[in-house]
């Protein structure tokens, strides 16, 4: 039987996936696959789950949110594990799965992996870490990992919004320098978002023209401004009409250096990111992933 390595975070999202584990194993087994599960816990480093994974496996299947998937992809990239990845989107935020049309349904996720439709997607690399969907710095970028786990499990994405509102009054402008394609931008920023797909944090139209396999990152850099302008810009973001706004820099590039004189938190896929400076490069079509359809959303 072909083997599938199933890595699951029992605490992701509403923490219900572990109750469906037998259903997953049964579905794979009836299709001729042997499931080798590994429970991801705090006392185990993610790389320990890969002790027996070689390219003779059929697939790696990851259950959790974007942060869990990020940690798995990071190890796969570093260890040059060239087998496809299947996703069970059971986190608080599942931006990559939503973009690729992968539903939060156990049987559907199993069948997507069984059917074996693969696509190669881009992967970002910032300093020595990889990211699947987003790297960000500035306002609200530390909300995901500052929000209490129990609150996230109870309220879902609403917990992020509540925590974000608490942070806004304490925010001050960040002097940043962006270097890309022989160009330089220096300005006081509120937020910089480097995207691989079109969405992050549940906002589905942050980069309306982005494609996850085009070899480019879509960079949204928002200038510092007052609360009134911030609110106006927020509603434009909801409608995907912010790209041409006077307070937004929009960049498409495959290499970006972000420098900042002071220490600020950064984020990659909902987890704490590296310290400045951020040297970001895009790895074109570096990861094989199972998807529901032949064409991306």
pLDDT tens for residues 140-177?
665 554 555 554 544 445 444 445 555 555 667 889 99
Query: What span, in angstroms and rounded, lies between the C-alpha atoms of 10 and 16?
Result: 7
For 98-107, how does the pLDDT look when each residue is reduced to its tens digit (9 = 90+)?
888 899 999 9
Among candidate residues 118, 259, 265, 271, the one labeled active-site is: 271
Annotated catalytic residue 265: no
How distant, in Å, are the alpha carbons of 5, 24, 130, 199 from that of 88? 13, 10, 20, 18
> Which pLDDT does position 270 carry in this prediction?
82
Largest Cα–Cα distance in the chain? 60
Q: Measuring CA to CA, which residue among 114, 55, 56 is closest to residue 82?
A: 55
Give the residue from 77, 79, 70, 89 showing the smallest Cα distance to 14.
Answer: 89
pLDDT at 72: 94
- pLDDT one-digit tens code per residue, 17-44: 999 999 999 999 999 999 999 998 765 5
CB 190 within 8 A of CB 224: yes
- pLDDT reported for residue 162: 44
Q: Which of 214, 217, 279, 287 is nearest to 252 (CA)?
A: 217
Instruction: Please check the confidence at residue 296 and state whether its pLDDT lies above 50.
Output: no
Beta-sheet pairing, 2-8 with 33-39:
parallel
**Span 182-205, average pLDDT:** 88
The pLDDT value given to residue 154? 46
Position 86 scores a pLDDT of 97
Q: Is the pLDDT of residue 139 over 50?
A: yes
What percentage of the chain's residues is helix, strand, coil (to nearest 5)? Answer: 30, 35, 35
Query: Which residues in 108-247 belong to E strands, given as ranges?
Result: 118-126, 129-131, 134-138, 174-180, 183-195, 217-223
CATH number of 130-284: 2.60.200.40
Beta strands in 40-196 (DSSP E): 59-64, 85-89, 118-126, 129-131, 134-138, 174-180, 183-195
Ordered by start, the domain boundaries in the chain are: 2-122, 130-284
Kindly list the distances between the CA atom of residue 226 and the CA atoms of 157, 188, 206, in Å, as whole numbers in the listed order: 25, 12, 21
Quick: pLDDT tens for 195-239. Answer: 999 888 767 788 888 999 999 999 999 998 887 887 788 788 777
Rounded distance, CA 229 to CA 292, Å? 40
Q: What's the mean pLDDT when you consider all of the chain?
A: 86
Alpha-carbon distance of 150 to 141, in angstroms, equals: 20
Q: What's residue 167's pLDDT?
A: 59
> What is the C-alpha separation between 19 and 15, in angstroms, rounded?
9
- Cα–Cα distance for residue pair 2/113, rounded to 1 Å: 12
Average pLDDT over residues 187-196: 92
How far apart, in whole angstroms, are the C-alpha atoms of residue 5 and residue 59?
6
- Grade residue 58 by pLDDT with cuts at 50, 70 and 90: very high
Domain 2-122: CATH architecture, name and number where available: 3-Layer(aba) Sandwich (3.40)
């Amino acid at each position: 039987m072909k083997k599938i390595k199933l890595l699951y975070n029992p605490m992701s999202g509403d923490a219900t996936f572990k109750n469906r584990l037998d259903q997953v194993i049964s579905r794979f087994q009836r299709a001729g696959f042997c499931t080798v599960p590994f429970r991801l816990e705090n006392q185990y480093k993610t790389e320990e789950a890969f002790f027996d994974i070689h390219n003779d496996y059929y697939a790696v299947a990851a259950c959790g949110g974007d942060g869990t998937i990020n940690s798995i992809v990071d190890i796969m990239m570093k260890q040059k594990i060239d087998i496809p990845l299947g996703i069970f989107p059971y986190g608080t935020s599942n931006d990559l799965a939503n973009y690729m049309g992968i539903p939060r349904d156990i049987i559907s996720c199993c069948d997507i992996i069984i059917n074996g439709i693969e696509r190669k997607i881009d992967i970002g690399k910032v300093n020595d870490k990889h990211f699947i969907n987003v790297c960000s710095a500035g306002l609200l970028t530390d909300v995901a990992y500052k929000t209490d786990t129990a609150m996230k499990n109870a309220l879902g994405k609403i917990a992020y919004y509540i925590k974000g509102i608490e942070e806004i009054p304490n925010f001050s402008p960040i002097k940043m320098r962006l270097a890309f394609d022989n160009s330089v931008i220096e300005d006081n920023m509120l937020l910089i978002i480097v995207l691989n797909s079109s969405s992050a944090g549940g906002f589905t139209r942050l980069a309306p023209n982005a494609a996850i396999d085009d070899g480019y990152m879509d960079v949204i850099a928002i200038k510092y401004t007052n609360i009134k302008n911030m609110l106006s810009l927020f509603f434009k973001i909801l409608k995907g009409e912010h790209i041409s706004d006077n307070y937004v820099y929009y960049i498409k590039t495959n290499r970006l250096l972000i420098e900042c004189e002071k220490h600020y938190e950064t984020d990659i896929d909902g987890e704490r990111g590296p310290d400045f400076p951020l040297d970001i490069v895009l790895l074109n079509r570096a990861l094989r992933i199972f998807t529901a359809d032949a064409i991306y959303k």
